[in-house]
Structure formats: C-alpha cells, structure tokens
Amino acid sequence: MIELGGLTKAYGDMVVVDGISLTIPSGGITSIIGPNGAGKSTLLSMIGRLLKATAGTVSVDGLDVAATPSNTLARRLSVLRQENHITARLTVRDLVTFGRYPHSRGRVTAGDRDKVTAAIDWLGISDLAGRFLDELSGGQRQRAFIAMVLCQETDHVLLDEPLNNLDLKHAVGMMKLIRRAADDLGRTLVVVLHDVNFAAHYSDRIIAMRGGKVVHHGTPDEVVRADILTDIYDVPIAVHELAGTRVVTCFG
C-alpha cells in the first residue's frame, strides 16, 4: 500500500505537484493519466525517491520513503524511468543480475542466478540473454529493464511510460506482461500511461491528473467518461462502447 500525504513539488514559484493526498491499495495495476506537464512523472519519481519532495510524505507499506534506508526500500519498491541510457557496456544477463543487488549486495549466489534466468525467461528474452544492450531494439531493451526490476522481487513496481517508443504490437505485449506481473506474480504496479485506451483496458484503477492535482480517481468505468476526459485533456473527447471495451476518440 502506498500512501501520499500532501505531497508537493515546487521549483521556485512553479508548483508541479500540488499537495496530493491519496492511497494506492496493494495489488493490481494503477495507471496515472493526464496531459503533458500534469506532474505524472514527477509524482512517480517522488514515490520512487528519485526526486525529493518539497513538502508532504510518501509511505510504502508504512515505511516513510524519505527516512527509510535506501537499501531497505529497494526490497519493497522498484522504479523504472523512461530514459535508460547506460554508459557501461552490459549484456542483458548482466543488467538483469543487477536487479538482485538489493538482496545480494554484489555477492551473487546460485539462487540469485536462478532468479535472473527465471526473470529473463518470464519476459521471453532468453535468446537475447548474452547480447549487449546496445545491440537490441527499443522494445527488447525495454523488456530487459523490466526483467531487472521484476528480478528485484519488490511488492511495488513503478513504471514511467513503459509504452514509450513502442509500436502497437509491442505496446500490447508490454501491457499484457504488466497485467501478468500483477495477476500471476501478485505485484502492485503503478504505471504512467499516455494512451487512455490502454489505461482503460488494462488497469484496475486510474488516477487522472491535471495541473499537479489529482482530479479524478477510481475504476476505469468511473474515470473513463467523456465529460471527465474532456475536462482533463481540454479537447473534445468521445467514449464509445465497442465489444465490451470502452474506446476513446478525440478527433471531434
């Protein structure tokens, strides 16, 4: 369970995240949607302690993120941002092995190696395990990074725009993986998404943000509504019911 209390981030006079208080329950997929500049990534970075909050608190399973030792948190919570440039030349297996660092502190055991192999298999990239990251396509590299955070075996996994730069096929594959991580592995996923259709179809809960504030949150049925989305994105949006799924269009 992730609890936010009055969480705020400001750069000088510019408030990017404005006093958000919210509880994200354990289990399932929670998507954060909203227009550019709504503060989605900033919020996720603060929950993942990559960014220091100006005010307010974040607690994960009752642990205050600002006060708990980083290594303790690394076994409860993992976070992956959208840009993942790495200077070191690593193979996929090297990278995924880093996911065990919070547990092994660098002394990798046979058990760790098994978990690394399992994570690589689970993401279906076994044939790429020996390849270097700079030899992979964007979608393959994305999977390698997801394998690393899953290998960390944290209850909470935060992903910032995991569909970034993926084509339709890979985006669907990625969302199915995230769904399986929630259903089969019992992880709690918090995901920043740009595509409302993906959020509507795959999430259990949606947090809708605008101007640094949470304006709506609830199940996809509650949030994915024409009036709410039009209000958030400031363009006319229609919601259709198609074969049991809500589909969002915004072309007038």
Beta bridge partners of 7: 20
N-to-C CA span, the chain: 39
Decide if residue 63 touches other proteins (CB under 8 A).
Answer: no
Contact call for residue 141 and other proteins (CB under 8 A):
no
Asked if 136 interacts with other proteins (CB under 8 A), we say no
The Cα 36–Cα 18 span in angstroms is: 15
Instruction: Write 211-214 long-range contacts (CB < 8 A, 24+).
Output: 211/18, 211/38, 211/39, 212/15, 212/16, 212/17, 212/18, 212/20, 212/38, 212/39, 213/18, 213/19, 213/20, 213/39, 214/20, 214/22
- Residue 149 in the binding site for other proteins (CB under 8 A): yes
- Of 43, 64, 68, 40, nearest to 53 (Cα)? 43
User: Residues 109, 113, 119, 120: is their CA dihedral positive or negative?
Assistant: positive
Does 72 interact with other proteins (rule: CB under 8 A)? yes
Asked if residue 79 binds other proteins (CB under 8 A), the reply is yes
Question: Contact with other proteins (CB under 8 A): which of 13, 67, 106, 244?
Answer: 106
Q: Judged by CB under 8 A, does residue 59 bind other proteins?
A: no
Q: Cα angle vertex 95, ends 166, 167, to 5°?
A: 5
| Residues within window 150-179 making contact with other proteins, judged by CB under 8 A | 152
65 part of the interface to other proteins, by CB under 8 A: no
Instruction: Report the DSSP pairing between strands 55-60 and 2-11.
Output: antiparallel
Minimum CB separation of residue 116 from other proteins in Å reads 14
- DSSP per residue, 40-61: HHHHHHHHTTSS--SEEEEEET
Residue 36 binds other proteins, judged by CB under 8 A: no
109 binds other proteins (CB under 8 A): no
Query: What's the CA gap between 239 and 41, in Å, rounded?
Result: 26
| Residue with smaller CB distance to other proteins, 68 or 248 | 68
- Rounded least distance, CB 3 to other proteins, Å: 20
88 near other proteins (CB under 8 A): yes
Q: Does 240 bind other proteins (CB under 8 A)?
A: no
Closer by beta carbon to other proteins, 105 or else 169: 105
Binding-site member from 80, 125, 150, 196 for other proteins (CB under 8 A): 80
Report in angstroms how near the CB of residue 113 gets to other proteins at its nearest.
Answer: 15
Which one of 34, 39, 56, 102 is in contact with other proteins (CB under 8 A)?
102
Q: Is position 188 an interface residue for other proteins (rule: CB under 8 A)?
A: no
**Nearer CB in complex with other proteins: 31/41:** 41
The Cα-based distances of 193 to 122, 154, 164, 170, 176 in angstroms read: 23, 21, 9, 15, 14
- The residue ranges that bind other proteins (CB under 8 A) are 48-50, 52, 69-75, 78-81, 84-90, 94, 98-99, 101-102, 105-107, 149, 152
